Amino acid sequence: MKKIAVIGTGYVGLVTGTCLASLGHKVTCVDIDEKRISSLQDGHCPLHEPGLSPLMQSNLLENRLQFTTVLEEAVQGAEAIFIAVGTPENKDGSADLSYVKNAIENLSLYINDGTLIIIKSTVPPGTNQKVRSWMQARSERTFHVVSNPEFLREGSALNDFFYGDRIVIGSTDSKAGQFLEEIYSKLKTPRLLTDPLSAEMIKYASNAFLATKISFINEISSICEKLGGDIEQVAQGMGMDSRIGEQFLRAGIGFGGSCFPKDTKALVQVAKETAHPFNLLSTVMDVNERQKNLLIEKALKRYGSLKGKNVAVLGLAFKPNTDDIRESPAVSLIQRLQQLEANPTAYDPVVKSIPFCPVSDSIHEVLTGADFAMICTEWSSICDLSLDVYETTMKRAVLFDGRNCYAPEDFEGRNIEYHSVGRQAYEGLRENKKTHKH
């Protein structure tokens, strides 16, 4: 059992703190957000993350997990301190390290000799060195800084923590690395011990590579659409090659979330600073921007103008099983619809409101009276919806599926017009074709 402090109770801080407590450590999580901490102290989990709330509550009951706004209290006696604050993007796309710097400067007032500082936040290569110099400028204490990037995915965060593909430990000091090994000793996850800069680069490179895979399959899907192929079959066939792998080959309306968009931009900036332009990754980002507009382009082609159209937007979260709408393709789609003077109304099973668009938790309600529907998130409540519902609730059922939730053959003999990604459109029953335009 180690005494651990976690700074930041966002997605990463809360999951890390809760899971470390479950491994038997005594963990105190600290945040500057008083409302968040007070709610956490009352046992309310602020994130919609499967399994997190009960795990957090049982650790609170067992006294292994605590929350505070008082840094001194969290750090007192702590042998290891995880930094899990945000690293949002600056205007130029580079990573904003001000939260990390601020956390380190505050920490310098309280750390004990020999404390291990562990950087969990996603930071540009070279940050470990910066953290050391920020601390040295303010404290005479001895300390070690280890880079330990986090690879969890929202929606499957607990599974990713307990059964991840790897634990990367970047350290210049073998004893510090060994101490972190002890913290994770109950996990069977493969370890990679490396230097701090390589550890930091592993995180950026992994996200950039996955984003590239998504933009690649989205490009193939556009060509398939033009030539008449089926992207789902193509992705399946590609994924059967173990060198390629089947994951992250789902074509759709692009990647969103709090990581891929920001981390790809940050890596492009890192590369720029080394005078080596990362053209490939810049294009990955351009392809993603275009992809986010795909359903709008299809609807414009279909209707000419979207002015006055009532649109049912199905799904707001950037992916299923989370309530996170950061950089969600659904949000940019809604904003674009509004620019085009359409009237979107959204459904999401967990996101209950957003400031700029009406949201309903009834899928039937948003479909009723809609001119067409657009699927943005592949929630099971959306993918499993019977096609009868579209036929019976909509004026004339027209569906733009941005996540390929349905197969085109599901629509055979149906009174539904179906447009998806990287596959041919299904125009609905013959008699409907007469009323196809406007």
Ligand X SMILES: O=c1ccn([C@@H]2O[C@H](COP(=O)(O)OP(=O)(O)O[C@H]3O[C@H](CO)[C@@H](O)[C@H](O)[C@H]3O)[C@@H](O)[C@H]2O)c(=O)[nH]1
Ligand Y SMILES: NC(=O)c1ccc[n+]([C@@H]2O[C@H](COP(=O)([O-])OP(=O)(O)OC[C@H]3O[C@@H](n4cnc5c(N)ncnc54)[C@H](O)[C@@H]3O)[C@@H](O)[C@H]2O)c1
Which of 66, 122, 147, 264 contacts ligand Y by CB under 6 A? Answer: 122
The closest of 164, 175, 167 to 191, measured between CA atoms, is 167
250 binds, among ligand Y, ligand X, none (CB under 5 to 8 A by kind): ligand X
Which of 16, 22, 171, 207 contacts ligand X by CB under 6 A? Answer: 207
What residue numbers does the annotated binding site cover?
31, 36, 87, 122, 151-154, 203, 248-252, 256, 262, 319, 326
9 binds ligand Y (CB under 6 A): yes
What Cα–Cα distance (Å) separates residue 39 from each residue in 67, 69, 113, 294?
10, 12, 33, 40
What is the distance between the terminal CA atoms of the chain, rounded to a whole angstrom? 67
Residue 215 burial (10 A CB sphere; 0-12, 13-18, 19+):
buried
User: 433, 398 in Cβ contact below 8 A?
Assistant: no
Which of 288, 420 has the CB closer to ligand Y?
Answer: 288
What Cα–Cα distance (Å) separates residue 256 from each residue in 73, 327, 330?
37, 5, 9
Which of 104, 169, 202, 259 contacts ligand X by CB under 6 A? Answer: 259
Which of 270, 314 has the CB closer to ligand Y?
Answer: 270
Would you call 265 helix, strand, or coil by DSSP? helix
Cα 422 to the chain's mean position, in Å?
Answer: 23
User: 191, 180 in Cβ contact below 8 A?
Assistant: no
Cα 326 to the chain's mean position, in Å?
Answer: 8
Which of 249, 268, 287, 421 contacts ligand X by CB under 6 A? Answer: 249
Spatial separation of the C-alpha atoms in residues 96 and 217, rounded to whole Å: 30
Query: Restricting to residues 291-330, which ones interact with ligand X according to CB under 6 A?
Result: 318-319
Which of 214, 266, 295, 331 contacts ligand X by CB under 6 A? Answer: 214
260 binds ligand X (CB under 6 A): yes
Q: Which two tokens stand for residue 427?
A: 């125009």
150 binds ligand Y (CB under 6 A): yes
Tell me whether residue 259 is one of the annotated catalytic residues.
yes
Spatial separation of the C-alpha atoms in residues 236 and 239, rounded to whole Å: 5
319 binds, among ligand Y, ligand X, none (CB under 5 to 8 A by kind): ligand X
Nearest position to ligand X, beta carbon:
259
Minimum distance of ligand Y from residue 32's CB (angstroms): 4
Name the active-site residue from 19, 29, 224, 259.
Answer: 259
User: 359, 316 in Cβ contact below 8 A?
Assistant: yes
Query: Restricting to residues 142-161, which ones interact with ligand X according to CB under 6 A?
Result: 150-154
Which of 7, 118 has the CB closer to ligand Y?
Answer: 7
- Binding segment for ligand Y (CB under 6 A), chosen from 102-110, 170-178, 356-364, 391-399, is 102-110
User: 258, 11 in Cβ contact below 8 A?
Assistant: yes
SS3 content of the chain, % helix, strand, coil (to 5): 40, 15, 45
Give residue 312's identity as a one-letter amino acid code.
Answer: A
Which of 18, 122, 127, 128 contacts ligand X by CB under 6 A? Answer: 122
Which of 269, 343 has the CB closer to ligand X?
Answer: 269
207 binds ligand Y (CB under 6 A): no
256 binds ligand Y (CB under 6 A): no
99 binds ligand X (CB under 6 A): no
Minimum distance of ligand X from residue 98's CB (angstroms): 19
Which of 104, 211 has the CB closer to ligand X?
Answer: 211
Spatial separation of the C-alpha atoms in residues 60 and 18, rounded to whole Å: 9
Spatial separation of the C-alpha atoms in residues 432 and 263, rounded to whole Å: 46
Interface residue list for ligand X (CB under 6 A): 122, 150-154, 207, 210, 214, 248-250, 252, 255-257, 259-260, 263, 318-319
Known catalytic residues? 259
